[in-house]
């Protein structure tokens, strides 16, 4: 088993990909309200700023900024995933137990990327928002309902005023 090490930077800005174990499932959009409830609860308990998010049927992409002095994104993800699983476990048929008796709906690990500069930040934001287009779910990111794209675009569009 590889010795995977995460890069923890207090107050860091990170891009994440978090995935369901069974990529054929659509739990994240089918039970979107349950996801948001779990996400919001943990965001209040262990604050972080969501700079962008797109929730796909079987995975999600997001960019977070952690509070100054804090670097524990792993606990936040563990609690979000656990909360969502508890919320939907009576609504779905759980997968068969593995050798350790676990019946997880999430992949154990998640992918994280520490954002290092403005160019990297812009690339990650674009990747998050254009993921539904990449997967052929919509032709334009504005069409995907489970994304911050419209909010982000409105906040980042330069509007000209006539004076």
What confidence score (pLDDT) does residue 73 get?
A: 97
All structural domains of the chain, each given as residue ranges with its CATH number in brackets, are 13-93+103-148 (3.30.70.1290)
- 103 alpha-carbon distance from chain centroid: 21
Q: How far is CA 49 from CA 4, 24, 70, 128, in A?
A: 26, 30, 12, 15
Give the C-alpha separation, 3 to 12, whole Å.
Answer: 22
Environment class of residue 162 by beta-carbon count within 10 Å: exposed (0-12), middle (13-18) or buried (19+)?
A: exposed
Residue 155's Cβ-side half-sphere holds a number of Cα atoms within 13 Å equal to: 7
Strand, coil or helix: what is 103?
coil
- Residue-by-residue pLDDT tens, the chain, 163 positions: 456 678 999 999 999 999 999 999 999 999 999 999 999 999 999 999 999 999 999 999 999 999 999 999 999 999 999 999 999 999 998 877 776 666 789 998 899 999 999 999 999 999 999 999 999 999 999 999 999 999 999 998 864 444 3
Which residue's entry shows tokens 């992918």? Answer: 111
């Amino acid at each position: 088993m590889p010795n995977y090490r995460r890069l923890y930077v207090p107050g860091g800005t990170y891009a994440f990909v978090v995935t369901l174990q069974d990529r054929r499932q659509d739990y994240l959009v089918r039970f979107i309200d349950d996801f948001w409830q779990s996400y919001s609860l943990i965001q209040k308990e262990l604050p972080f700023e969501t700079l962008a998010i797109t929730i796909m049927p079987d995975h999600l992409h997001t960019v977070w900024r952690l509070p100054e002095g804090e670097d524990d994104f792993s606990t936040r993800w563990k609690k979000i995933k656990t909360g969502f699983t508890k919320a939907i476990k009576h609504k779905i048929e759980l997968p068969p137990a593995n050798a350790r008796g676990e019946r997880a709906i999430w992949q154990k690990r998640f992918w994280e990327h520490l954002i290092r500069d403005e160019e990297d930040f812009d690339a990650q934001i674009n990747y998050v928002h254009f993921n539904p287009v990449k997967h052929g779910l919509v032709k334009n990111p504005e069409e995907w309902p489970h994304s911050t794209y419209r909010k982000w675009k409105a906040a980042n569009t330069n509007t000209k005023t006539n004076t």
